[in-house]
Amino acid sequence: MVAKPKAPRVGVKAPEFLIETADGRLLLHQLAARHEKLILTTQDSYRYHPN
């Protein structure tokens, strides 16, 4: 049996990744600092889930 990977907990720093923005590539924490709140949402490929 494969263990389900654990999602980071509420209250911890979100794992970093790079985001292409109109102002160039920013790290997640740099983009978050520019907004009251930053929303991340994920979905699987449009191939499987077109909505």
Partner 1 sequence: MAASLKQDYAKILKAGANLVMISPDPLEEHRRYALALFGGELPYLYVSDSDLDIARRYGLIRTKEHPHGGFYYRSLWILSRDARIAYRSVPWEGNARVEEYQVLFKLIDSEPGEWRATCGLRPPEQLHAS
Q: Does 25 bind partner 1 (CB under 8 A)?
A: no
Give min distance, CB of 2 to partner 1, in A. 5
Residue 36 contacts partner 1 per CB under 8 A = yes
The amino acid that residue 26 corresponds to is L
- Cα first-last separation, the chain: 31
Residues in Cβ contact with 17 at an 8 Å cutoff, skipping those fewer than 6 apart: 27, 28
By CB under 8 A, residue 24 contacts partner 1: no
Positions that interact with partner 1 (CB under 8 A): 2-15, 17-21, 28-29, 31-51
